Amino acid sequence: MSYAMPEEDPLRRELGVYDAHKQDWLKAHLNEFVVIAGYQVEGFHSDYESAFKAGIHAFGVKSQFLIKQICVTEPVYVVY
């Protein structure tokens, strides 16, 4: 019996792309929103809504993609 290897987690891959480029992006795109699907960077946008629309246009309604704001310090959210 053989087992297929699980695919790499898409979120982990997209966060890896973000981490790999963050220092360069901080210089050129501070506080903008980046759209990433897999290893592909769609682009940078001034607000979340524009980034979301661009992600849908580029990757489709049924695909997964990451929208992340480029910040020096990552915000911490507490959920109770």
From the CB of residue 50, how many other CB atoms can be counted at a distance below 10 Å? Answer: 16
Considering the entire predicted model, what is its pTM?
Answer: 0.85
pLDDT of the residue at 8: 75
Q: Which residues contact 40 (CB under 8 A, 6 or more apart)?
A: none
The span from the CA of 37 to the CA of 28, in Å, is: 20
Q: Where along the chain do its domains lie?
A: 18-69
Residue 1 has pLDDT above 50, yes or no: yes
Q: pLDDT per residue over 21-71, tens digit each?
A: 999 999 999 999 999 999 999 999 999 999 999 999 999 999 999 999 999
66-69 and 40-45 beta bridge pairing:
unpaired
Locate 15 and state its tokens: 């966060």
Q: Is the pLDDT of residue 16 over 50?
A: yes
What is the length of the chain?
80
Residue 4 banded pLDDT, cuts 50, 70, 90:
low
